[in-house]
């Protein structure tokens, strides 16, 4: 009996199936420091316990994206080991901050299945939920991936494509208990721009760039216990390149966006995202953002801002797709998220 994990194939997924993912993980001060070593992260709420307390939280949480990566990483052996492509994200919500000492688990429910017309692959939709040691959901999100069939003769399941919100409304967002920006220190945060200073349609070039190294993306991806071979094994692809985990690009771009969005402190919603082109070591990642929407929240002093975050390998700003509707070759990431800012 083979003891290693072959991964699931398209015909192995059933609608409504619930998968408890393996290897719970206690995150702590080490993960926090590594996040700051791997990305130029500077949002003050995630850098200083004192600043976080000034905003009504008990201490500085783990970066929201680190929480996402930990929850996501656990799904890889069950969801994307035989995936051909990571097609999209929707309805991502951060529901509870994650603090050093918390232990995260994750589980997924199959909410959609659709075999492709070629009969060789299909699309699997899962809603993944990350929970802490108190069984509180810290985040959930929907992801869909294209997965290979192993047995091409397996019958196609009834096609079910879930209805997903294109954009979360502000009512869908969870604002951490106690969050209070009334004594927010803009000087310590690094920029004076408040929620009211941003206009829908405004674009911000985040200026700085980081050239990507193999050792760094592998350390990051391992830290989240993401085991996809293509990130680590230079013999896996014919071109000898290691494909960089898309989440590494997300974290890099988000960290770079500090320069111009220092007060977009907390990520609370993920509306969608596309890994437009693959990223490899040696590329220099830059980022720009566009304000897509703004909304008031029920919490005094806290505004929500919807941002498009684009990572590029060519330093372009504002350009996204060509006339053919496809992403331009210099675009690595197109992410649509909600963040909280002081009004």
Contacting a second copy within 67-86 (CB under 8 A) = 77
CB of 220 to a second copy, least distance (A): 7
- Closest contact distance (angstroms) between CB of 293 and a second copy is 17
Of 8, 11, 12, 31, the one binding a second copy by CB under 8 A: 31
* Residue with Cβ nearer a second copy (135 or 323): 135
> How many other β-carbons are positioned within 10 Å of the β-carbon of residue 135?
7
Q: Which CB sits closer to a second copy, 117 or 199?
A: 199
Query: Would you count residue 236 as binding a second copy (CB under 8 A)?
Result: yes
User: In which residue are the tokens 């209805």 written?
Assistant: 163
Segment near a second copy (CB under 8 A); pick from 122-130, 211-219, 269-277, 328-336: 211-219
Rule CB under 8 A: which of 102-141 touch a second copy? 103, 105, 133
Residues 6+ apart with CB under 8 A from 117: none
Interface residue with a second copy among 15, 28, 137, 194 (CB under 8 A) is 28
The interface with a second copy within residues 4-23 (CB under 8 A) comprises 4-5, 20, 22-23
Stretch that binds a second copy, among 85-93, 174-182, 230-238, 330-338 (CB under 8 A): 230-238
CB closer to a second copy out of 148 and 222: 222
> What is the footprint of a second copy within residues 305-334 (CB under 8 A)?
315
Closer residue to a second copy (CB): 50 or 296: 50
Q: Rule CB under 8 A: which of 135-174 touch a second copy? A: none
Quickly count: other Cβ atoms within 10 Å of residue 136's Cβ.
Answer: 11
Min. distance of Cβ 342 from a second copy in angstroms? 15
């Amino acid at each position: 009996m083979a003891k290693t994990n072959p991964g699931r194939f398209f015909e192995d997924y059933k609608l409504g199936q619930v998968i408890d993912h393996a290897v719970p993980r206690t995150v702590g001060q080490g993960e926090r420091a590594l996040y700051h070593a791997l990305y130029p992260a500077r949002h003050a709420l995630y850098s200083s316990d004192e600043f976080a307390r000034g905003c009504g939280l008990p201490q500085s949480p783990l970066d929201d994206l680190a929480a996402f990566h930990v929850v996501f990483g656990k799904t890889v052996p069950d969801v994307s080991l035989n995936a051909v492509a990571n097609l999209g994200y929707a309805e991502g919500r951060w529901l509870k901050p994650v603090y050093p000492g918390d232990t995260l688990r994750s589980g997924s429910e199959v909410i959609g299945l659709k075999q492709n017309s070629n009969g060789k692959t299909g699309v699997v939709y899962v809603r993944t939920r990350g929970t802490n040691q108190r069984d509180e959901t810290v985040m959930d999100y929907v992801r869909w991936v294209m997965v290979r069939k192993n047995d091409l003769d397996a019958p196609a399941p009834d096609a079910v494509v879930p209805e997903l919100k294109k954009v979360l409304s502000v009512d869908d967002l969870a604002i951490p208990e106690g969050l209070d920006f009334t004594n927010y220190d803009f000087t310590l945060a690094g920029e004076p721009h408040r929620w009211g200073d941003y206009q829908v349609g405004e674009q911000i070039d985040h200026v700085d760039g980081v050239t990507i190294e193999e050792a760094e993306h592998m350390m990051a991806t391992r830290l989240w216990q993401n085991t996809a071979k293509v990130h680590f094994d230079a013999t896996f692809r014919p071109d000898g390149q290691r494909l960089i985990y898309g989440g590494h690009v997300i974290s890099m771009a988000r960290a770079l966006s500090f320069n111009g969005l220092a007060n977009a402190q907390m990520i609370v919603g993920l509306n969608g995202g596309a890994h437009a082109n693959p990223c490899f070591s040696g590329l220099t990642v830059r980022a720009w953002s566009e304000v897509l929407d703004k909304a008031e929240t029920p919490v005094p002093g806290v505004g929500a801002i919807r941002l498009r975050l684009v990572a590029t390998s060519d330093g372009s700003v504002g350009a996204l797709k060509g006339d053919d509707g496809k992403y331009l070759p210099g675009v690595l990431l197109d992410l649509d998220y909600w963040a909280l800012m002081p009004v």
